[in-house]
Amino acid sequence: MCCSSSDGACHRAHFPAAWRPQNPRPFKVLSRQPIDDWRILFYVMCATSIGILIRSIFRVAEFAGGATGLIATHEGYFYTFDSLPLWLGMTLYCVVWPAHALNDHSG
């Protein structure tokens, strides 16, 4: 059975124990402690993917308008739809470093 839900509802129904980790430590911003709750990294990856998708759509629209189009000749569009999603993604990964969530903490 395959589910195509973006919020993971099918996986939560079939694997409830994996979706709710047992006794996770509270997440602390800029901490060197491992991240026990993998959902934090999951949500960061989703937010970054949405930002990259927004940037890609902007780039296609910019290319379709040509070099003298409205999008290509106004900096505000560039900063909003090209630079901002990348900056947010980099900032999120500085706060939630993936290696802290992917390491094996059992030993």
DSSP 37-51: -HHHHHHHHHHHHHH
pLDDT band at 83 (very low <50, low <70, confident <90, very high): very high
Residue 4 has pLDDT above 70, yes or no: no
Of the CA atoms within 13 Å of residue 56, those in its CB half-sphere come to: 6
pTM of the complete model = 0.71
Average of pLDDT values for 60-78?
Answer: 91
What confidence score (pLDDT) does residue 107 get? 45
Q: What percent of the chain has pLDDT over 70?
A: 77
User: Who wins on pLDDT, 72 or 6?
Assistant: 72
What confidence score (pLDDT) does residue 11 get? 66
